[in-house]
Structure 1
Amino acid sequence: MRPLIATIRLEHLRHNYRLTRSIHGDKMLAVLKANAYGHGAVRCARALEDIADGFAVACLEEALELRAAGIASPILLLEGVFEAEELKAVDEHGLWMAVTSEQQLRMVEQSAPARPFNVWLMLDSGMHREGFVPASYHAAWHRLEACGKVEKISKMTHFARADEPEVAMTFSQLEAFDAAVRGLPAGDESVANSAGILCHARAQRNWGRVGIALYGVTPLPAGFEQGAELRPVMRFSSRIFGVRELAAGEPIGYGDNFVTDRPTRVGLVACGYADGYPRRASSGSPVLIDGQRSRLIGRVSMDMLTVDITDLPAAGIGSEVELWGDAVSVNEVAAHAGTIGYEPLCNVKRARFAYC
């Protein structure tokens, strides 16, 4: 078998949940959408079920996978339902759901559930992606309250730029949220995502929603101390399976986009973009080889990539390569690929997952 392993440290997951919940100070949903950001939703849910207040997923399919695995905790559908027919499953499995649009609101009004729904009513406080605009939020609330199909309504919004702590938009969104819900009956509120939990104290309402920070990756720019105690959950590693000795002036890989400037030892690593490593990662992207930092050289191929082992004379066939994890941050790799750490984590596949 290819020596490509995604090691998932479930105790790190539990640590990150406890840490972020303590910072938030109240109840918190662990976000498991996109297969728990590539970490395995069922295994992560089982590891957290005894300490988590609940879970959040994007859609019904993800929630049903957790219910089928025996997860009985509250589960929120962050995108709500897409078809009225899905409300039967929401009712049957006791799911919570967001209501983000007039279409979804009408679905609830026209439904006939066996038990009233738990609804999280989304406000568009400035991100302009989904949710009711402030001018229509009160009316939407009162329609839900009056329809007889809803037991509880929580107020919710989502930040656009909380991961940029010095940008004023988050404060503007908080002000818009507070103004929009003023005068409505008291009830649960949820505004803080991972970045909001870590560095916006005013966003710490009844329910936090921890996503990327749950997996030990800070959403904040380099230089911010918040989140320093997070522990990476995934360690993505492989091994060198071939070595080439090249003279100065020799190209490596597709496109000849890297040419050696000295005699170079090249290690061939069993991992490529079909496995989830970013194809756009540039030469110079960090790797850890047998515990020592080195770099990617040449273009990432579908099934393999090449690393510089010139200054590591002991490295060779069989040497372990940490692609990201403890010493190499996935955010660092992502920056070299012009993306964010979320993306490579969600894209990991064709690897052997080892849970510990």
Structure 2
Amino acid sequence: MKKILALLVSVVLFAGLFAGCAKPNQPGGGATTDNRKQTDKKIGLATDEGGRGDKSFNDAAIAGLDKISKEYTVTPQILESKAADQYEPNLKALTQSNDLVFGVGFKMHDAMDAVAKANPNKKYAIIDSVVEQPNVMSINFKEEEGSFLMGVIAGKMTKTNKIGFIGGVDMELIQKFEAGFIAGVKAVNPAAAEDLINRKNVRYAGNFIDVNKGYELAKQLYNSGVDVIYHAAGGVGIGLFNAAKELKNGGKTVWAIGVDSDQALTVPDKADIILASMMKRVDVATYTASKDLIENNFQGGKVVVLGLKEDGVGISNTINPAVTKDVLDLADKYKKAIVDGTIKVPTKPGDVKAFQAPEIK
């Protein structure tokens, strides 16, 4: 009996030794091939108050880091900022363990400025602001140009000649979305632009996270006869989509236009009420800056501005079937006129009244 037990133990030990000697990528080896390029660089990102899951601005920024992590052996560290008093602590925490730290959103300007100044040997990048520090790359966009194209689509798609705009916070950056959008509407449908120019059909939520507020503001506009609403409001925009879907299910024809990401894809259950989305390619910005870091091409102190010409803004790939080819062709003609300088899109709502776009057919 003792001899049998000893023999069994020897077999088990031998089998274990054999398994342990299996080559990593052979069947039974228990390891997988990692084809990513090797790097020891570490990257961190602090969101603004919208946080992960806003299906828009912050998620677009994170998507760029997701892409870089599929190409290089880097695991980005993401910290969510739920309030302004978390911006600086989050940036400081990320600085301790990363070579490049992103701050997402204009609200992070002061915190980024302070942290970057205190850590001159670290590298930083901020989205939607300019921080004048030699170790900070500032990445900005011509939101008014992409929004203009959304205005062309809205101006052609409205049946009531009433169009709305919902913004997050009423300040200079979001007003660029508003101004560009109204200018686009005015270029193709001046009558529909009137109540946008006088701001009768413009609403601001005061934040970028209150879904219920977005729903409330959208219902106000839709109930007043508006049939197309464009938002630049982060998570608030989900409320817009909810309102539009509810009304559509009730038999009313209303539309919404998304922003930052292709929102027919990020919010697929609302795709049927989204005409198109204005792409603000924050994902390209975070991916490119990260790649520059990894390949030792990062340029601190640089200010990057991305518009239609640089493919930094534009029309989403997903277009609702209701948007006809002639409308898309017209939007493309206006795009070319903006790129070649024929049209300079206003960045302030107050300048739209005097704006006159050349007639394009």
Q: TM-score, normalised by structure 1?
A: 0.27
More strand by share: 1
Max Rg structure: 2
